[in-house]
Amino acid sequence: MESDARYAWVGFAVVTLMVVLAAGFYWLNGSTEQDVNRYTVYFKNQSLEGLQLNSDVRMQGIKVGKVEDYIILPGQAKTVRVTLEVDARTPIWEGVEAVVTRNLVTGLAAIDLDNVWKGGSDIGPPPEGELYPVIDEGVPQMTRISNTLETLGKASIEAVERMNHLLSDQNQQAINSVLVNVAGLSGELRGELRQIGPELKATLGATRQAALRLDTVGAELTPVLRDSARLVRDGGKWVEHAGQRFDRMANETEATLNTARVTLSRMDGSLRDIQTQLKLSVDLGMQDIQTTAQSMRASSDTLLTTSQEYADPVRLLYGPHKAELGPGEE
């Protein structure tokens, strides 16, 4: 009687298990096709290295589907058509973009979908000639950064070229020659003044002496004396005019030299500022490099440790050996 009852229980359990198994298979069969939507993406600019069938399709970092199929289009060596299978509950808007992201350690790639706001309407039916709705190819973050860096690099090169041009040998020679000419001009003026000054002074002295002599001649020669006095006055005025002109020229020369000195001083200040900025950038860059290198070392060390731990599966399954237990551990 007891053995009959046990057989009945065993039979009941086997039948129940089979029913559960069959229900499981039915559930798996019935829940596949209806809950997903398919989309097509044409990748032209991004590498699909690391992308495989069943690779993840993510949105906001959450897995929402998988890669169902991909093919390089015949006759278009740089265009790859990828078919995505996405959970039907996932909102796919018009203007959605797909970018390929790659895990730096494993090299495995996935596709990230980014819903770009263009009114929030659904992507709609497939275009003519397409089996599924088409999702646009986006631009990966790394590409954006590299483009920015490239632009920055070009701008830097241009700035350096302009600076080089500004400080070119030709310009330096020109500035030197200008300064030399200005210095020469002031020297010549000074020399001229030095040469002409005594002569003018001597002329003035002689004229004054002549006037004095003429004054002593007497009243009978008054008309002649009047003429001579006029001559002395005119000569004095001419000398005074010449002196004023030379003074003006000397002042202008001095102002030109002052302007040149201020310009050079400003250039010196600007170069010093550039030097300070460069030093600051290099210092901060070096800090980043140091910390990045240290982080990479730490990551590789962690990977090494983890791989060593996983190298002993017996330990993982059955726990540590008694001899490995620490003080006070049982």
Partner 1 sequence: MCCRYLLVWLSALLGLSACSLPGARTQAIQYFVLEAQTPVSPVAAAKAESPRPVLLLRDAEASVFTQNPRLIFSRTPATRAYYQYALWTESPPKRLHTLLRQRLLASGLYGGVVPLGAGVQGDYQLNFRVLEFFHNAAQTPGLAQVRLDAELVERGSARLVAQQSFAADVPLASQDAAAAAAGLGQASSQILDAMLVWLARVQPNSVDMPQAR
Interface positions with partner 1 (CB under 8 A): 21, 24-25, 28-29, 32, 54, 280, 283-284, 287-288, 290-292, 294, 298, 301-302, 304-305, 317-320, 324-330
Residue 269 CB, shortest distance to partner 1, in Å, is 15
In the complex with partner 1, the residue whose CB is nearer, 263 or 277, is 277
Pair of tokens at residue 166: 């500004």
Task: Provide, rounded to whole angstroms, the least separation between the CB of residue 330 and partner 1.
Answer: 6
Are the C-beta atoms of residues 70 and 40 closer than 8 Å to each other? no
* Of 15, 314, 274, residue with least CA distance to 159: 274
Nearest-approach distance from CB 83 to partner 1, in angstroms:
17
Question: What is d(CA 67, CA 101) in angstroms, rounded to the nearest whole number?
Answer: 13
Q: Which long-range contacts (CB under 8 A, 24 or more apart) does 226-232 make?
A: 231/207, 232/207, 232/208
- Pick the closest to residue 51 from 41, 36, 60, 61 (CA basis): 41
What is the nearest approach in angstroms of partner 1 to the Cβ of residue 16? 15
Q: Which is nearer to partner 1, 178 or 304 (CB)?
A: 304
Q: For residues 13 and 166, which CB has a smaller minimum distance to partner 1 in the complex?
A: 13
Contacts of 31 (CB under 8 A, 6+ apart): none
Indicate the residue among 244 and 295 with the shorter CB distance to partner 1: 295
**Least separation in angstroms between CB 24 and partner 1:** 6
- C-alpha span between 95 and 117 (Å, rounded): 7
- Between 181 and 287, whose beta carbon lies closer to partner 1? 287
Beta carbon nearer to partner 1, 245 or 297: 297
**Burial class of 64 by CB neighbour count within 10 A (0 to 12, 13 to 18, 19+):** buried
State the nearest-atom distance from the C-beta of 281 to partner 1, in Å: 10
| DSSP, res 140 | -
